[in-house]
Amino acid sequence: MRILVTGAAGFIGSHFVRTLLAGGYPAYAGAEVTVYDKLTYAGNLENLAPVADDPRYRFVQGDICDAQLLDEVLPGQDLVINFAAESHVDRSITGAADFVVTNVLGAQTVFDACLRAGTERVVHIGTDEVYGSIDAGSWTEEEPLRPNSPYSAAKAGAELLARAYSVTYGLNISTTRCSNNYGPFQFPEKVIPLFVTNLMDGKQVPLYGDGLNVRDWLHVDDHCRGIAIVAEQGQAGESYNIGGGVELANKELVERILTACGKDWQSVEYVEDRKGHDRRYSVDDAKIRTLGYAPQHSLEDGLVETVEWYHANESWWRPLKATAALA
């Protein structure tokens, strides 16, 4: 089997590729993997260094908006998994255009190229942020999409296109909607690595608003296992929520990070809330659980292991943080 993974030099995609090539997904044992990535600021070939010498691994630098290059790379690929996206909400608020181009036009370009190549199976990676905000209960996949940020609106646009390509053209595509990810190799603009690395440097960490916004936390390894399950068993035209099953207010998350880093609340600075900040996310992932999915990483253990990873891999994150003006 041959698998094309777009955006796989990033945090989640690289984890998927490393795990696949290490034999972590039995359905894809022995598969050859082509990583297709533009190598923007969040794309880092160091994330793929552990598998760079694997004979089943190939890297192509390219933009998902480049239809001509996709037409060169896609023929013969049995499965395409589209991770490629602009993903940081704060960046989308200050500059939405890149998010629309990559997350909407880029996704559509990939779907079109898959049709031309006759790709048998496609999985598009989405986010629970497409639902908007929920005060009580949890979203099922049948809930309407009500995105509130340019990032989530662009991701919702891609999902609507995925549905349209399934219905109109018969593309065998499924989409996933994950909750907040964490784990090793996450770019240090995201909340957990940003806070951990700030605390390592003796700096304060910024907490938005009153700190009571609630998120469900999902270890990247659990997320990628869910994606592999959807790729193997998911139905065409269907979406699948992937959750971690642990909801925390941001203040509670910060408390756990402080404890893991041996710091106290003097290291926290309350800052003005993000524009359009969704209050609560909560996914009902019963649908994917019928396919055999269940998270295997507790937040207690996963967070400690993640903090330890950033302490042990300063040479990985410090250049990235400096380049992105996050230091």
Q: How far apart, in Å, do the first and last CA atoms of the chain sit?
A: 42
Per-residue pLDDT for 154 more than 60?
Answer: yes
Instruction: Answer yes or no: is 225 within a domain.
Output: yes
Per-residue pLDDT for 327 more than 60?
Answer: no
Same domain for 205 and 146: no
CATH code (residue 193): 3.90.25.10
Tell me which residue of 205, 85, 78, 100 sits closest to 153, measured CA to CA: 100
Domain total of the chain:
2
- Decide if 216 contacts 243 (C-beta within 8 A): yes
Instruction: Answer yes or no: is 72 within a domain.
Output: yes
Instruction: Answer yes or no: is 288 within a domain.
Output: no
Tell me which residue of 90, 95, 76 sits closest to 34, measured CA to CA: 76
Same domain for 39 and 82: yes
List pLDDT tens digits, range 186-213: 999 999 999 999 999 999 999 999 999 9
What pLDDT is attached to residue 325?
66
3 state SS of 270: strand
CA 207-223-228 angle, 5° bins: 160
Q: Which of 128, 221, 247, 285 is catalytic?
A: 128
Query: What's the mean pLDDT when you consider all of the chain?
Result: 96
Q: Which of 25, 28, 131, 151 is catalytic?
A: 151
Instruction: Answer yes or no: is 285 within a domain.
Output: no
pTM, two decimals, is 0.96
DSSP H/E element including 259: helix 250-261
Instruction: Answer yes or no: is 286 within a domain.
Output: no
Q: Give yes or no: 300 in active site.
A: no
What pLDDT is attached to residue 274?
85
Q: Give the residue numbers spanning the domain of 176.
A: 2-181+218-242
- Mean pLDDT (whole number) for 34-38: 98
Q: Give yes or no: 128 in active site.
A: yes
Per-residue pLDDT for 314 more than 80?
Answer: yes
What pLDDT is attached to residue 122?
98
Q: Which of 37, 86, 129, 216 is catalytic?
A: 129
Same domain for 250 and 237: no
Same domain for 272 and 236: no
CATH code (residue 33): 3.40.50.720
List pLDDT tens digits, range 55-100: 999 999 999 999 999 999 999 999 999 999 998 888 899 999 999 9
Same domain for 107 and 134: yes
